[in-house]
Structure 1
């Protein structure tokens, strides 16, 4: 699978959604979720997401739950497009029940973004609208799981998608490279200082 988000849960990995590199009717985008135990070498199904997702992000929260944000629910090559935009929805996986529950939606849809666990929140950065990869978002925000709310942060100076992001020990976030407007390459990096 490519573009399935994988998270490390202690020694196990959660793999949520994604698709094969060959999107066909026989190989659709998935809502399925599985946990891999590297000690036993086994895969165990857990609750599926409410919608299939591809080019989404999954982030482990402080309580062991997982927040999935954005992505696309369809393959553009498969028949009529029902939702021509990236998803604004978010879902939260409960490790005690193995089930997904709706979280507050983001202000607008995005895919190919980054989402980082930060203190007790999730910071979501950049991305694009899958209908037209001609735009790259500068928008950043954070999700507070305690209140189920999204709050805007200062935007990045360059819009980008398919980029790298990492939390620094200085309390800042570093974003680098990626694709920008009209799918051109973004070769700069920036340090975001206004973080929760």
Structure 2
């Protein structure tokens, strides 16, 4: 994991804003991210650009969610590992630079979305596994470190957009289902 000390970075993988001048980048090391792998092999180049190394995830993954929690920690959930899709979730503590396991998802999912609700819980919606879209949703409770199933979308989708509405509902729109979904196919949950 990389932390910039003063500069922002456009890199591969999800990013979670931690503080105004700090960003956590989850670098996905896949065959298409050779530049990320090369940069990791040259820590002096990264340091010269204001980056420093921090702890590493226990489970490397592609397409997870990364969510800044109200307590300042970052929840990383799901995604695809080197061998299979992942149920595991981990918490990053920027104060220590360390990762810790937390409760596991009920269903595997890649390219889902995660939204912090007014209650402080995190809603994970949709995603896909092997190209098959998920319609299910789960809630993460940071106080207990557990997940629970909640309502489902009428149409499964991954790579979609979400926004938290002033009413506390989450608007889910677009994305990829069994076909590419348009902005007209949205739902407030």
Say yes or no: TM over 0.5. Answer: yes
Match status 1:18 vs 2:13? no
Q: Which runs of 5+ in 2 are unaligned?
A: 1-10, 41-45
Match status 1:47 vs 2:42? no
CA distance, structure 1, for counterparts of residue 166 and residue 140 of structure 2: 20
Q: Which residue, 159, 175, 180 being the options, matches 1:185?
A: 180
How is 1:166-181 mapped onto 2 (pairs within 5 angstroms)?
Answer: 166-181=163-178
Number of the residue aligned with 1:158: 155
Q: Which residue, 141, 144, 153 being the options, matches 1:144?
A: 141
Match status 1:9 vs 2:3? no
Matched-pair contact (CA < 8 Å) for 1:17–1:53: no
Matched-pair contact (CA < 8 Å) for 2:106–2:149: no
- Number of equivalenced pairs: 167
Match status 1:69 vs 2:64? no
Compared with structure 1, are the counterparts of its residues 21 and 190 closer, same or farther at alpha carbon in structure 2 (3 Å cutoff)?
A: farther
Q: What SS does the corresponding residue of 1:17 show, helix, strand or coil?
A: coil
Q: What SS does the corresponding residue of 2:167 show, helix, strand or coil?
A: coil
The structure in which a higher percent of residues are helix is 2
How is 1:24-173 mapped onto 2 (pairs within 5 angstroms)?
Answer: 27=37, 42-74=50-82, 83=83, 85-119=84-118, 120-129=120-129, 132-133=130-131, 135-173=132-170
Compute the TM-score of the two structures, normalised by the length of structure 1.
0.78
Q: What SS does the corresponding residue of 2:15 show, helix, strand or coil?
A: strand
- Encode CA deviations 1:61-87: one digit per residue, 9 max, x unaligned: 11100000011122xxxxxxxx2x311
Matched-pair contact (CA < 8 Å) for 1:140–1:154: yes
Number of the residue aligned with 2:5: none
Q: Which runs of 4+ in 1 moved over 3 A?
A: none
- Encode CA deviations 1:62-116: one digit per residue, 9 max, x unaligned: 1100000011122xxxxxxxx2x31111000112211000011101211011011
CA distance, structure 2, for counterparts of residue 41 and residue 63 of structure 1: 29
Compared with structure 1, are the counterparts of its residues 87 and 105 closer, same or farther at alpha carbon in structure 2 (3 Å cutoff)?
A: same
Q: What SS does the corresponding residue of 2:85 show, helix, strand or coil?
A: coil
Q: Which runs of 5+ in 1 are unaligned?
A: 31-35, 75-82
Q: What SS does the corresponding residue of 2:104 show, helix, strand or coil?
A: coil
Compute the TM-score of the two structures, normalised by the length of structure 2.
0.81
Compared with structure 1, are the counterparts of its residues 117 and 21 closer, same or farther at alpha carbon in structure 2 (3 Å cutoff)?
A: farther
